[in-house]
Amino acid sequence: MESLETLRDIAAVLEVPCPLAFQDVYIKELTIDSRKVVLPSQSVFFAIKGDRHDGHNFINELFDKGVRAFVVSKDYTIPDQLDDALFIPTESPLEALQKVAAAKRALVNYPVIGITGSNGKTIVKEWLYQLLNNSYRIIRSPKSYNSQVGVPLSVWKVGSEHSLAIIEAGISEPGEMVKLERIVRPTIGIFTNLGQAHDENFSDANQKAREKLDLFRNVDTLIYCKDYLIIQEELNEYPFEGIPKTFCWSRKSTADLQIGRVEQRDGQTEIQGIFKNNFIRITIPFTDEASIENAIHCWATMLLLGIENEVIAERMRHLAPVAMRLELKQGVNNCSVINDSYNSDLQSISIALDFLQQQHQHPKRTLVLSDILQTGKSDLELYTEVAQIIREKNVDRLIGIGPNISGQAELFDENSQFFQSTEEFLSTNTHDAFHNETILLKGARSFGFETINAFLQQKTHHTVLEIDLGAMVHNLNLIRSMLKPETKLMAMVKAFGYGSGSFEIANVLQFHHVSYLAVAYADEGIELRKAGISLPIMVISPEEQSFDAMIQFGLEPEIFSVRSLQLMENAISRKGTLETPIKVHLKLNTGMNRLGFSESEVNQLIVRVKNNKQIQVASVFSHFAASEDVEQDDFTRLQIERFEKMSTSILSHFDYPIIRHICNSFGIIRFPEAQYDLVRLGIGLYGVAPESPITDKLRHVSTLRTTITQIHELHEGDTIGYGRTEKVDYEMRSATLPIGYADGLNRKNGNRNGHVLVNGRKAPIVGNVCMDMCMVDVTGIPCKEGDDVVVFGEGLPITEFAKNSETIPYEVLTGISSRVKRVYFQE
């Protein structure tokens, strides 16, 4: 095969026929996530079944988005209404994804660097990119895409336009690396180290080393540190397909790169070595042991590639920290925050504490540590060792988070603090608990330490979506002041909290005692439950396969049709007799004509529900179609009349209280007579509301900001951007911003249709908006590279930005990409 670009090519790899109508369809993306489809007409969706998700359940949604190519399990029944899509049946969509990626890898003949190890994979990968980017056209794994799905998605991106690939691969159990090796087929291998992560899934460290070595079965050259004796031992016995060359380095014995003196001073480390009988040295702007080890791996790789050490040394001086790994940032109350919340094992804890020990800018050192997972050790054995390490590293205060470490509290110093969960920590601490100290966050991913990181950090000035929690609480209380004393409040946290983060927002709302939360899908509610949210949660769009899970996690489904009621009844039957009846919310169609029971179905609904003693009606509700539109007020009042009639009929047949609600954010403000027992607050939380007496009192919650990357001095005749649509006819000063349509900046803002604020002054967006960048006209605006830019927020309301984008604020907020970091702060 000479190329792998069309559906014909992909079908050929999977050894299935491809209908003529689809053969020449160009494919750019392979995807497994229905939420991250960028180019639907050029995508193939692999419907992978996982422990918690089944990709087949999202096929209709993807079809509606424009995807027309699906790789599915053979037992999947193709819906009749999707007959104009291509379905490729396979025994395993995951294996099919891996097979297609392996075929793509076979098409490239440039070097491929494969990296594995217990720690440092991502750092080494990202640093190699920094160090080699001037010498090669590099494609690398995004973030930590090192799993059974992450690796093939990474390898799919390799192309003829590149001259070097750097792919990261990780495993958690035996047998996984063999599959990844078939995809990556590295020519150069880097084995970073061997730690304790996932120890419980392997018989011993030797087995884990052998499993990791599977990545290098066919490698030409393997780079490793021979000071890891188990790696050296297993390498000597490993049955390689051929005999690979090795490039080893060591601090203790003779090696290809013999490390000599390592001197740390003034925030830098000088590393001396001997290579081919020559004394060489590099200096890196880091002093911790983790960075030193990672830098030496990069040094060895560059030497192997034949790069002169003078060039290497110069580039090493400019190494930059990699976000999300031991990153040091300014925190609240003159604190510094080190975020190392990607993994948590004994070796990485020791290395991270070494980095903490290097920090002398504050008199006090605090460690925030979660439960350490998957070590294979008993809690007593594990945390006895942890306590010893902490004492040796001169940590002043430990904050332990999780049931396991909390259960071993007596092993730690008396000034230590313990919390059962991240949520408990956040709900019981304020910024006042931290002053003039260095704080290391070391947590397993499942504990969500990114919320603690956001809590402790000062506001940043990168491309971020800032959420002012104080402003949100202000808006919540302002809306509450408009309600009757007996009226309760339901807060909508669907669509990732309107793009602002579901749990972070839910936690604030729970703290401030809203009565209910509402999510779109059961998965969102389950995540909130797992995160410790105990408020009642209504699920607006329960899916067929989700009713059992909703019962399990105490979620309350919306019932909007006879079929949805039947699905609920079926789930109850499967569960047997419930300890308590499941609460449901009955949706009535009063004119929106989207979901809900019609008036003619109400009697049947009453009979069905009354006859099932395991169902309890929590609420009856409906949805306004145009409560924001003055011209539609007559219709809104008609909806209220219909709702009053239908809901009164239902309530009269039950002998327990049932909540009624119809008002959304705009309805709360414009139709106070329809507040009933509860109102639903969504976009109003974020300061968006129609013209009313309270409009000016609402505060902006969300600010999308970025920085100036580069400034250009342009002259008459110059053009800007793709398509050269901006033609310069005067001496112009333009600024490039690191935000584009992949971040949520709508392309309609380009060509001077929209603007941003640069140092408080409007700067038109010029030329076409790019995927990752845009350009603005800053002529006459005093500014420099690195200056802050507001895309929307204070001074440029989201309503104005939405108007420029020819859309509504809802779409703007929910369209902000997940790669844009959310930063939460409270003044």
Give yes or no for a contact between 238 and 255, defined as CB atoms under 8 angstroms apart: no
Q: How far is residue 774 CA from its own chain's centroid?
A: 23
Q: What is the DSSP annotation of 638-662?
A: HHHHHHHHHHHHHHTT-SS--EEE-
CA 558 – CA 540 distance, rounded (Å):
5
The amino acid at 155? V
- CA 482, CA 562: separation in Å to the nearest integer? 36
Dig out the tokens for 45 from the structure.
Answer: 């969706």
Is there a contact between 187 and 304 (Cβ–Cβ < 8 Å)? Answer: no
Which residues belong to the active site?
A: 494, 722
611 C-beta neighbours (distance < 10 Å), count: 9
Cα gap 152→5, rounded to integer Å: 16
Residue 731 has a CB neighbour count (10 Å cut-off) of: 11
Task: Report whether 736 contacts 705 (CB < 8 A).
Answer: no
Name 756's bridge partners: 763
The helix or strand, by DSSP H or E, that contains position 268, with its residue range, turns out to be strand 268-275
Query: Both tokens of residue 625?
Result: 């179609």
> 581-599 burial, b if ≥16 CB within 10 A, otherwise e?
ebbbbbbbbbbeeebbbee
* Non-local CB neighbours of 786 within 8 Å, separated by 6+ positions: 707, 708
The residues that bridge with 707 in the sheet, in sequence order, are: 788
Cα within 13 Å of Cα(208), Cβ side: 23
> Please, which residues bridge with residue 43 across strands?
29
Cβ(493)–Cβ(504) below 8 Å: no
Token digits for 648? 């009164």
CA atoms of 743 and 36, how far apart (whole Å): 12
How far is the C-alpha of 441 from the C-alpha of 452, rounded, in Å?
Answer: 8
Q: How far is CA 183 from CA 110, 153, 218, in A?
A: 15, 10, 12
Cα–Cα distance for residue pair 254/249, rounded to 1 Å: 8
317 close to 329: Cβ distance less than 8 angstroms? no
Secondary structure (DSSP) of 407-462: TTGGGS-TT-EEESSHHHHHHH--GGG--SEEEEEE--GGG-THHHHHHHBPPP-S
Burial annotation 550-570 (CB, 10 A radius, 16+ → b, else e): bbebebbbbbbbeebbebbbe
Query: How wide is the angle at C-alpha 576 spanned by C-alphas 572 and 581, nearest 5°?
Result: 55
Question: Which residues on adjacent β-strands are paired with residue 733?
Answer: 713
Beta bridge partners of 619: 585, 659
Cα-Cα-Cα-Cα dihedral of 359, 353, 429, 382, to 10°? -170
Cα separation, 234 vs 215, in Å, equals: 13
Whether the CB-CB separation of 195 and 118 falls below 8 Å is answered with yes
